[in-house]
Chain A
Amino acid sequence: MKKSHENKYAIYLLTDELLHIIYKKDHCIDLKAAQLIVRDRMTLQNGREMPVLCDIREVRRVNKPARDYLALEGSQWVKALAFLIDPPVTDVISSIYLWTHAQSVPTRSFAKKSEALAFLKSIK
């Protein structure tokens, strides 16, 4: 089963094993954006808990209310989370996010997609 979806801020690709979210360029992720991103993700998953690969390489700004929202309200139905980053900017974004917000699911950042996928696969 493969499904895809697109909104203003991200592209979603859903397979049997995982959900791949690619954040688009040129958007400041504020609370409204974060709520929309989470809403569409949850609609797509329809109650299924799954690993998520989150490609944030084009992201340049996620503000504090959005970060707080994504960390708690926005982390439901996520079994494990891998950020795909492109140092140095998105490396810093993911590091501060992980450092300042408690994670209820295994979460790590990777510069290589293959390593990110391997990590997600290793979490049962």
Chain B
Amino acid sequence: MPNNDDFRVKRIQRMLLEMARGNFFYSLEPTHKNDNVASLVVMLNMVNEEIRASFIHQGFANAHNTPQCIIQLSFLMDTYGTIEMVTNSTCSLLSTLPKEIIGKPITDFMTEGSQKVWAKKMVKHLKRERSETVQFLEFISKDGLLLGKDCHISVFRSLDGSGQKILLDTVFFSKGEPFGTELPKKTLKVTKGIKEPKVTLTPEDIEMIRDVHDMIINNLDRDLPLLKDLALQMGTNEYKLKYGFKQLYGTTIFRFLTHERLRKTKTLIQHSNLSLKEIAHLTGFKSAAHFSRAFRDKYGKSPSDLRG
């Protein structure tokens, strides 16, 4: 594979074009090199991931009510992993024509790492009558961009056991229209329950709310001041702080605080010898009972179950 600067810059441009269209699901193959172009590749991949993550909740761009297109990647294969049928959007995602895909082994479109995973896992799954699994796999488009995602892999079998087929399926979310110019048929609204923005946020407000977010993260073990006082301290009002935070992070300040505290407790439960009471105290929970209840609500089992 050519690997000169010209070639690498072309890949970067291709990736930027996809981002400009609102397609944040591609990535670039990292190299072992340690030069300026490699640093740009790394940066682009990381920035791309951060942007993609900010669309999950309303995001920094107030993206509520933004229709998000679902693009499906789907292959139907025989038991050897040879592709028998594909959808149009699969071809578009990989920038290839159906005739370039059909009849080829699925591994032709995977990165080396994913090829290994596929070879190892599929033998096991095909032995069962029917099986379903989720596996992270990385595909390579004709342009050399990587598409990585958790894929559903299902093995189908007919009643008389005469035939088996494999279906590999996953979806990608796009900010823009996926491919072609017609209106997307399927749209997904990311926002639940908020019809109109409650407050209008200026860039300064967003900056301020992000500071609050960082402040909470950095002081998880401490009690949060009253929202009224916190708002005053940040030079804003309680209403803007409350609803602005919800708009940006998709949750209330108190839920967010509890959620982040719980994330910390989980590692402490798993990897320390501290008692649950000590953990509750260290991570800012008022009591062990409160901690246990919050933990069970979030993870579906109690802290002592997790410790086992």
B220: nearest chain-A partner, CB-CB: A104
Residue interface mask A29-59, B partner, CB < 8 A = 1: 0100000001100110011000000000000
Question: Given known contacts A88-B38, A88-B39, is B218 in contact with A73 (CB within 8 Å)?
Answer: no
Give the CA-CA distance A37 to B263 in the complex, in Å: 16
Confirm or deny: A1 has a beta carbon within 8 angstroms of a beta carbon on chain B: no
Chain A residues near B268 (CB, 8 Å)?
76
Residue interface mask B24-64, A partner, CB < 8 A = 1: 00000011111110111011011101101100000000000
B265: nearest chain-A partner, CB-CB: A73
B274: nearest chain-A partner, CB-CB: A47
What is the minimal beta-carbon distance from B251 to any residue of chain A, in angstroms?
A: 15
The answer on a CB contact under 8 Å between A76 and B264 is: yes
Chain B residues near A43 (CB, 8 Å)?
271
Chain B residues near A73 (CB, 8 Å)?
263-264, 266-267
The answer on a CB contact under 8 Å between A102 and B31 is: no
Majority secondary structure of chain B interface residues (helix, strand, loop or mixed): helix
B210: nearest chain-A partner, CB-CB: A102
What is the minimal beta-carbon distance from A26 to any residue of chain B, in angstroms?
A: 7
The answer on a CB contact under 8 Å between B218 and A72 is: no
Give the CA-CA distance A39 to B266 in the complex, in Å: 11
Confirm or deny: B117 has a beta carbon within 8 angstroms of a beta carbon on chain A: no
Chain B residues near A61 (CB, 8 Å)?
30, 42, 45
Q: Which of A63, A72, A87 contacts B49 (CB 8 A)?
A: A63
Residue from B35, B217, B260 with most neighbouring chain A CB atoms (10 Å): B217
Chain A residues near B136 (CB, 8 Å)?
30
Using a Cβ–Cβ cut-off of 8 Å, how many residues does chain A contribute to the interface with B? 33
The answer on a CB contact under 8 Å between A96 and B43 is: yes
The answer on a CB contact under 8 Å between B213 and A92 is: no
A105: nearest chain-B partner, CB-CB: B218
What is the minimal beta-carbon distance from B69 to any residue of chain A, in angstroms?
A: 21
The answer on a CB contact under 8 Å between A38 and B53 is: no
A32: nearest chain-B partner, CB-CB: B136
B213: nearest chain-A partner, CB-CB: A102
Give the CA-CA distance A30 to B113 in the complex, in Å: 13
Interface residues of B (CB under 8 A from A): 30-36, 38-40, 42-43, 45-47, 49-50, 52-53, 113, 136, 213-214, 217-220, 260, 263-264, 266-268, 270-274
Known: A72-B217, A102-B213; 10 extra A-B contacts, CB below 8 A, are A42-B271, A60-B31, A64-B52, A72-B260, A73-B266, A88-B34, A89-B33, A91-B39, A93-B42, A96-B47
User: 21 A-B pairs, CB-CB below 8 angstroms?
Assistant: A26-B32, A30-B136, A42-B267, A42-B271, A43-B271, A64-B49, A64-B53, A72-B260, A73-B264, A73-B267, A76-B267, A88-B36, A88-B38, A88-B39, A89-B35, A90-B34, A92-B46, A93-B42, A96-B43, A100-B50, A102-B214
